Structure 1
Amino acid sequence: MQAVNGRILIVDDDPIQRRLLEEAVKKFGYRSKSATNGAEAVRIMTGPEAGEIDLIILDMVMPELDGLGVLERLRSDKIPTPVIVQTAHGGIDTVVSVMNAGAQDFVVKPVAPERLNVSIRNLLKTSALEDEITRIRKHASGTLTFADIITRSSAMERVLDLGKRAASSNIPILIEGESGVGKEMIASAIQGSSDRRNKPLVTVNCGAIPDSLVESILFGHEKGAFTGAVDKHVGKFQEAHGGTLFLDEVGELPQDVQVKLLRALQEGEIDPIGARRPVKVDFRLISATNRRLIDQVKDGAFREDLYYRLNVFPIWIPPLRDRIEDIPALTRHFIARFAAEAGKPQVAGITPDALDLLQQYRWPGNIRQLENAVFRAVVLCDGVQLTAHDFPQVTSAMDYPAPSGVPSNSAPIATPAPHHAPAPHTPGTQISEPIQAEQPQSGFEHQAPFGFMRNLDHDGHVRKLADVEEEMIRAAITHYSGRMTEVAKRLGIGRSTLYRKLKEYGLDDNGKDAAA
């Protein structure tokens, strides 16, 4: 797997100069795409490939459409991609005209590789930081759109397409996916792309609220409604009036609160604690969960009627390990942000071998884990680029070979899904179209999220303890990369007991069937 920091468009009519630039860009650790003239460059930057281009190296003198003409077209179309202009004449008039036309930098031919590398690195860092600042501002103001989400993955493009469709209506949306995949970001983009943009986006983490306070926080209470209610409190539903209410980890809501949520969805009104009459509310509901709500319904922990109310338009976000093509762009944006926050302006990129390491890792914590890893790496970095040594936690995890037949850091083995479950998702086609409530479909019908196990067998009965124990042992061996002392310690049993159980279940030390 070739690691890359970004993709650069080289625009030059001289084939020798193009070849030299292509080799230099490749040596710096970037991908390249070439255009033989200005008109071709404009076609690329106004077409579907534009989103893949992070920077342009543009020759000044070309037939038909020259460099200034290309710059004028790009800026008239509001294409913000940074541009480095190449010119054989570095006079002051040329420089002024180029910079006024919208170029970010210029170099005089023949340019030294070191000078070009510094320019590319600095411009990519500046562009990433500007994008990050814009994204933060839009997120805070409720105007974030799908165009602001960083992705190069076809699987995520499918997610964005579904999100855009959902944004045009008030249909209830259920976003499913592992922790850290970006569910709140998708919810923000739906809000910012809807007719409720600039209205409140109220986020509630249902798993972080004590059960005794959930009802009051969501629905509000009147003064004197209960001991300690010294003032009237407006709940989250009323705060979201006219806008969007985002209930994260909705599966954590207590049963009594689920009843009131169902009524709010059905009737468009809520009952604050102690209120004499219901209160009408106008809100758009987006729910999210990292657990399988359908399994919670089967276990009796989540109301079936509420599940069907929430699961009208399901969107499943694939884990980062299934969209590794997003890692370079995400990493670059995190580097720009944290280099500024940590006061390390010299940190402007990442070496190809370090990026290759990040793309090989399985990221059980998804984007949130990648973000934290890059933050730590920036703090540790003493040079201008992050290296593999700046990611000690990742390298230590990668040092242990994965058990044979099981990918490193993979999710625990899931038991078969019920016979009526729909077909599993595959990369690139994970997201289904909106489906009827009679046949609910979540994103992980056949695969439990990382760190979770099924409670029921394929017939819907509770699984045998022996089967659960066997799966737990398999999962522990996979998670701790075959280090049996650690496996035994984490399972709370002795090594002799562990090896006895391996023998009982017909497993070898790698968690495989011994007879295989």
Structure 2
Amino acid sequence: MSGRILIVDDDPVQRRLLEEAVTRFGYSSRVVENGVEALQVLRAPEGGDIDLVILDLVMPELDGYAVLEKMRGDGNSTPVIVQTAQAGIDTVVGAMRAGAQDFVVKPIGPERLEVSIRNVLKVSALEDEIVRFRKSAAGTLTFSDIITRSPSMERVIRLGERAASSHIPILIEGESGVGKELIARAIQGQSDRAAKPFVTVNCGAIPENLVESILFGHEKGAFTGAVDKHVGKFQEAHGGTLFLDEVGELPLDVQVKLLRALQEGEIDPVGARRPQKIDFRLISATNRRLMDLVKEGRFREDLYYRLNVFPIWIPPLRDRLEDIPELTRHFLARFAAEEHKSKVSTVAPETVALLQSYDWPGNIRQLENAVFRAVVLCDDTCLRPDDFPQVQANCASRGAGGGQGGEPRIDAPLIAGEPAIRPDDAAGERSGEHAGAAALWKAQGSFAGFTDGSVPFGFLRALDRNGHVQTLECVERDMIVTAIDHYGGRMAEVARRLGIGRSTLYRKLKDYGLEASNGQDAAE
């Protein structure tokens, strides 16, 4: 497992035995000879990497009781397992009152030690999760609550801490699933708006005709069906923070009102006679390059520069593999408790190696779901590689020359002058979802040189049946059909992967007469 354990014992033989046992259990360890050295390690910058302390009670200079007292006095809540040759009840009670989580008697058997380590780390992870949930609900989550050991994330945290001390507009960029909302909550929780409202809006999930009303509110009778006054998200966030996720999906007319709200600090509810002053901190997020949308005329340039005052880019999980062991343990503790599978409490070292060898196109969200599934499947006390069959399959496919995601990777153009198509760029661990595209492969292959029907997935024909180049409209239509089939009719994902807005996608479906033929336009 990923835990880092500090072993504190003045007996060299006992230190060596503990170190060998801890290593055999799959944990990393650091060994010191006395309590003074232990405190030096815990107070140093690397002390934050220690997940557990195995502490001898009887030592010269500074005994275990004094170490515990000074640790708790420093505000260090690292869990501690104390060990001693004295098994009296007074010794046990004293150690527990001093702040120890468990107590073992020398000589300790390896099985007992492993169970103790596993249980203490699991309880610690659950306590951290409970604290994190409470802080998130109360709006007091800070960067110290974010699980990371990656140098690239340290830069994100440093930027976030600086941004938290200001009211500057922030634009958080990164792929889907990297934790943009978590960073936004930490910024608010570490600012002077902590514990104030934190209002989240997913701009890509709001129907276009309701965006203005949901964001800015409306007065009674402002339009047909407005039977009551509605308070918008900006008004809900008054005094706190408004988090606009997928801000690039906002319609152009709403972008104008957003720009005014940022510049003037006031909004115009639909049907209101006068504007309303509001006090809010805006944090925006996007998984797309807004500058590209500006160039395409789908995002206002003036609004872009207004939002992009303090950009923060969050690296994908594949670029911070150091975080995978800790995140895995975090999710394991949570899901084992939720699913009442308390015996599942650790992760085998070979499993950690497997998870770190995968690219995780869905990032942390995908890892979370993979661990959830593994906990449900697991019948052991430890998560094994076989509990992650889809990850295994993807890694095996990649090792055999295939692409990630289990699909064949097409690195060369299929037809001279055609760009290579890489279906493995799609996120997901779905089985059998491409079956519906098989007919399309065969239909195209019969006149594109694939007479045996073995057309690679993602192939798009460049020539028509008469040998002439296809029109751009036909190519675009085929691409949309392929994308809808590939992503199982999830139109938000289809639009995102095609690089267009959902309203544009629906319009193209109508233009190409695909609504009736595919029946996918309403499937979400």
TM-score after normalising by structure 2 = 0.80
**Superposition pairs for residues 270-281 of structure 1, below 5 Å?**
270-281=267-278
Amino acid paired to 1:18: R
Report how far residue 325 of structure 1 moved: 0.9
Measured in 2, the distance between the counterparts of 1:40 and 1:412 equals: 54
Measured in 1, the distance between the counterparts of 2:174 and 2:392 equals: 26
Measured in 1, the distance between the counterparts of 2:417 and 2:272 equals: 48
Report how far residue 319 of structure 1 moved: 0.6
Mapped contact 1:176–1:288 kept (Cα < 8 A): yes
| 1:246 has 2:243 as partner | yes
Mapped contact 2:403–2:424 kept (Cα < 8 A): no
Match of 2:322 among 322, 325, 340: 325
Measured in 2, the distance between the counterparts of 1:286 and 1:499 equals: 52
| 1:219 has 2:216 as partner | yes
Match of 1:9 among 1, 6, 10: 6
Mapped contact 2:177–2:362 kept (Cα < 8 A): yes
Task: Check 1:207–1:486 CA distance in 2 against 1; reply closer, same or farther (3 A cut).
Answer: closer
Measured in 2, the distance between the counterparts of 1:198 and 1:295 equals: 36
Tell me the equivalent position of 1:459: none
Structure 1 residues 232-287: Cα deviation after superposition (integer angstroms, max 9, x where no partner)? 00100011011000000100101100010000001100000000000001100000
Match of 1:306 among 303, 309, 312: 303
Tell me the equivalent position of 1:70: 67
Amino acid paired to 1:305: D
3-state SS of paired residue (1:401) = helix
Tell me the equivalent position of 1:493: 441
Mapped contact 1:488–1:494 kept (Cα < 8 A): no
Tell me the equivalent position of 1:470: 419
Task: Check 1:41–1:87 CA distance in 2 against 1; reply closer, same or farther (3 A cut).
Answer: same
| 1:108 has 2:105 as partner | yes
Tell me the equivalent position of 1:435: none
Tell me the equivalent position of 1:233: 230
Amino acid paired to 2:136: H
Greater length-normalized contact order (CA 8 Å, ≥ 6 residues apart): 1
Task: Check 1:496–1:15 CA distance in 2 against 1; reply closer, same or farther (3 A cut).
Answer: farther
Report how far residue 299 of structure 1 moved: 1.0
| 1:195 has 2:192 as partner | yes
Amino acid paired to 1:220: G
Mapped contact 1:55–1:124 kept (Cα < 8 A): yes
Measured in 2, the distance between the counterparts of 1:477 and 1:139 equals: 33
- In structure 1, stretches of 5+ residues that fail to align are 414-465, 503-507, 512-516
Match of 1:22 among 8, 19, 31: 19
Amino acid paired to 2:198: L
Mapped contact 2:267–2:278 kept (Cα < 8 A): yes
Measured in 2, the distance between the counterparts of 1:330 and 1:377 equals: 14
3-state SS of paired residue (2:322) = helix
Amino acid paired to 2:57: M
Report how far residue 34 of structure 1 moved: 1.4
Structure 1 residues 294-327: Cα deviation after superposition (integer angstroms, max 9, x where no partner)? 1111111111110000000000001111111111
Task: Check 1:403–1:499 CA distance in 2 against 1; reply closer, same or farther (3 A cut).
Answer: farther
Report how far residue 187 of structure 1 moved: 0.2
CA RMSD of aligned residues (A): 3.0
**Superposition pairs for residues 36-185 of structure 1, below 5 Å?**
36-185=33-182
Report how far residue 474 of structure 1 moved: 3.7
Measured in 1, the distance between the counterparts of 2:186 and 2:31 equals: 33
Measured in 2, the distance between the counterparts of 1:134 and 1:315 equals: 26
Amino acid paired to 1:262: L
Amino acid paired to 1:287: S
Mapped contact 1:364–1:410 kept (Cα < 8 A): no
**Superposition pairs for residues 282-301 of structure 1, below 5 Å?**
282-301=279-298
Report how far residue 63 of structure 1 moved: 1.5
Task: Check 1:468–1:362 CA distance in 2 against 1; reply closer, same or farther (3 A cut).
Answer: farther
Structure 1 residues 39-82: Cα deviation after superposition (integer angstroms, max 9, x where no partner)? 11111112211221110001112121111111001111121111
3-state SS of paired residue (2:5) = strand
Mapped contact 1:488–1:498 kept (Cα < 8 A): no
Mapped contact 2:238–2:279 kept (Cα < 8 A): yes
Match of 2:206 among 204, 209, 234: 209
Measured in 2, the distance between the counterparts of 1:11 and 1:374 equals: 33
Report how far residue 398 of structure 1 moved: 2.0
Tell me the equivalent position of 1:371: 368
Mapped contact 1:10–1:58 kept (Cα < 8 A): yes
Amino acid paired to 1:11: V
Measured in 2, the distance between the counterparts of 1:303 and 1:490 equals: 41
Task: Check 1:412–1:392 CA distance in 2 against 1; reply closer, same or farther (3 A cut).
Answer: closer
Mapped contact 1:240–1:283 kept (Cα < 8 A): yes
Measured in 1, the distance between the counterparts of 2:64 and 2:43 equals: 16
Task: Check 1:41–1:492 CA distance in 2 against 1; reply closer, same or farther (3 A cut).
Answer: farther
Measured in 1, the distance between the counterparts of 2:446 and 2:140 equals: 54
TM-score after normalising by structure 1 = 0.81
- In structure 2, stretches of 5+ residues that fail to align are 410-414, 451-455, 460-524
Report how far residue 468 of structure 1 moved: 9.9
Measured in 1, the distance between the counterparts of 2:144 and 2:446 equals: 51
Between Structure 1 and Structure 2, whose CA radius of gyration is higher?
Answer: 2
Measured in 2, the distance between the counterparts of 1:468 and 1:313 equals: 41
Mapped contact 1:10–1:22 kept (Cα < 8 A): yes
Report how far residue 396 of structure 1 moved: 2.0
Structure 1 residues 208-246: Cα deviation after superposition (integer angstroms, max 9, x where no partner)? 100011000000000000000000001000110110000
Tell me the equivalent position of 2:261: 264
Q: Give percent identity, aligned residues only.
A: 69
Task: Check 1:346–1:488 CA distance in 2 against 1; reply closer, same or farther (3 A cut).
Answer: closer
Between 50-59 and 185-194, report the one with greater CA deviation.
50-59
Report how far residue 166 of structure 1 moved: 0.2
Match of 1:385 among 365, 382, 385: 382
Between 393-402 and 7-16, report the one with greater CA deviation.
393-402
3-state SS of paired residue (2:419) = helix
Measured in 2, the distance between the counterparts of 1:65 and 1:135 equals: 34
3-state SS of paired residue (1:470) = coil
Structure 1 residues 361-382: Cα deviation after superposition (integer angstroms, max 9, x where no partner)? 1111111111111111111111
Measured in 1, the distance between the counterparts of 2:368 and 2:153 equals: 18
